């Protein structure tokens, strides 16, 4: 029974870890998001060829290495958006307790609002994420060692009557 309880606790810890990633990104907490990654992490963008460099996202396939550079790149990608939201679904994790490693995958629907020529524009993407995790012995928590974001679709449309609440939500204190 103890091993299934431990397995469930690790599944919940990974879910919490990924939910923090989405939350930190959506409140633009780049120092906090950096703590989600290993020091030498790899972050791969895999953009469908027909979406490479296309507005409104202007993303290209490529690889980022390291915790600090990953956080900076994520900040750069989202800096033009007034608000963003990650909706993370279909999370699945496989844990190897003997090596303190895990793999995972999820579908993430992302939305953001930007302004173009005085008009608010809603941008949405659908992506498939795959991850490799390591459990930090010194921090006793999961960290993302590898991320692949496969962007499969992008859409955008003008938004009429958009109202923006001016105060951003703070990061949760118990993260």
Q: What is the pLDDT along the chain (175 residues), one digit of tens a residue?
A: 347 789 999 999 999 999 999 999 999 999 999 999 999 999 999 998 888 888 777 888 999 999 999 999 999 999 989 999 999 999 999 999 999 999 999 999 999 998 888 888 999 999 999 999 999 999 899 999 999 999 999 998 888 776 666 555 666 665 5
Q: Which domain holds residue 87?
A: 2-158
- CA atoms of 5 and 7, how far apart (whole Å): 5
Give me the CATH number covering residue 135. Answer: 3.10.450.50
On whether residue 125 sits in a domain, the answer given is yes
On whether residue 174 sits in a domain, the answer given is no
Please state whether the predicted TM-score (pTM) of the whole model is above 0.85. yes
How many domains is the chain built from? 1
On whether residue 65 sits in a domain, the answer given is yes
On whether residue 116 sits in a domain, the answer given is yes
């Amino acid at each position: 029974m103890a091993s299934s309880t431990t397995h469930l606790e690790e599944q919940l810890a990974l879910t919490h870890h990924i939910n923090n990633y989405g939350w930190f990104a959506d409140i633009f907490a780049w120092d906090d998001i950096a703590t989600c990654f290993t020091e030498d992490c790899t972050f791969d963008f895999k953009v469908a060829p027909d979406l490479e460099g296309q507005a409104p996202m202007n993303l290209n396939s490529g690889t980022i290495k390291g915790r600090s550079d990953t956080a900076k790149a994520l900040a750069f990608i989202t800096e033009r958006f007034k608000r963003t939201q990650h909706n993370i679904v279909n999370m699945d994790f496989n844990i190897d307790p003997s090596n303190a490693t895990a793999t995972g995958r999820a579908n993430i629907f992302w939305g953001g609002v930007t302004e173009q020529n005085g008009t608010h524009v809603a941008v949405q993407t659908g992506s498939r994420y795959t991850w490799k995790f390591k459990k930090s012995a010194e921090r006793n928590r999961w960290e993302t060692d590898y991320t692949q974001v496969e962007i499969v679709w992008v859409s955008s449309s003008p938004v009429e009557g958009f109202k923006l609440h001016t105060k951003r939500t703070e990061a949760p204190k118990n993260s």
